[in-house]
Amino acid sequence: MYRFWQIFKMDLGNNFKNPILINYNTVFAIAMILIMGYLSSGNYTNGIDSYNYYAVAFLIFGMLEGAMTATNCFMERDIKKPNLRILYSPCGRFPVYFSKIAASFVFDYVLHAALCFVFVPMGINLGGWNLGWLLLMMAPVEFASAALGVLFCCIFHCEETASSILSLFVSIFAFLGGAFFSLDGMGAALAFASRLSPVKWLIDAFFAVIYDGNLSVVAPVLLISTAVGALLTFGCAKTFRTEDYL
């Protein structure tokens, strides 16, 4: 446990020293919410509803994009070199890949939770006292995203390849799920395709908590995302090879 903790602290510190990752998960997200909210404000009876929609949509989009944080944490060139010393130490395989998952999860979760507390003073509705339930639902989704990023690195052995493929899939899911604009009113075929995206499920679940106070969606999100995260972590255990990392 001591060895894992030392590796974890190093990985988490490396993430927080990366201004690109920090700005992408905070400044870029806020800018996109303000831009899309402004451009779409005429489509809502109340203009602030547009900002509410995109705050939730881009928060979820950012959570899934956390997979790219994990690929950077795991195999980015400047980070990979010092991590070679760990592979030669008698710490075992588990701390090497799981510390990357844990550090990426904590990094993304802290920044995205901070965004929530920035949104509230801006007048964006995040459910009032139900904000705590949103933060709870975010945690296992963030973990699953981090595990997905590490798994792709274990499979493809290259950060650039893993990030490119993940970015493509996340963008497709975000488009179909309505992160940029809702597809529900664009015909039955597109509405059905939208339902195939986990982004759509999460957006609907978050809005059910925010606007309806419907807490029945919390348990399914927690259980499904936890199960997916555990399955992806198991996949990392089966596919990670230290010689591939070298």
105-137 pLDDT tens trace: 999 999 999 999 988 888 888 888 899 999 999
Helix, strand, coil percentages (3-state) for the chain, rounded to 5, are 85, 0, 15
Amino acid (1-letter code) at residue 34: L
Q: Which helix (H) or strand (E) is 135 found in, with range?
A: helix 131-156
Show the tokens assigned to 93: 């395989």
**Of 165, 5, 162, 219, nearest to 94 (Cα)?**
5
- Residue 112's pLDDT is 94
Reduced to 3 states (helix: H, G, I; strand: E, B; else coil), residue 45 is coil
Show the tokens assigned to 30: 């806020």
| pLDDT band at residue 243 using 50, 70 and 90 as cut-offs | low
- Residue 82's pLDDT is 58
| pLDDT band at residue 171 using 50, 70 and 90 as cut-offs | confident
Contact 11, 146 (CB under 8 A): no
Per-residue pLDDT for 103 more than 90? yes
Distance CA 98, CA 226 (A): 15
| pLDDT band at residue 219 using 50, 70 and 90 as cut-offs | very high
**Of 199, 164, 176, 134, nearest to 67 (Cα)?**
164
How many domains does the chain divide into?
1
Show the tokens assigned to 242: 């230290």
| pLDDT band at residue 188 using 50, 70 and 90 as cut-offs | low
Is the pLDDT higher at 184 or at 201?
201
98-107 CB burial, b ≥16 within 10 A, e <16: bbbbbbbbbb
Distance CA 106, CA 112 (A): 10
Q: What is the DSSP string of 6-42?
A: HHHHHHHHHHHT-HHHHHHHTHHHHHHHHHHHHHTGG
CA 102 to chain centre: 13
Distance CA 116, CA 136 (A): 12
- Model-level pTM greater than 0.85? yes
Domain residues for the domain of 73 are 2-245
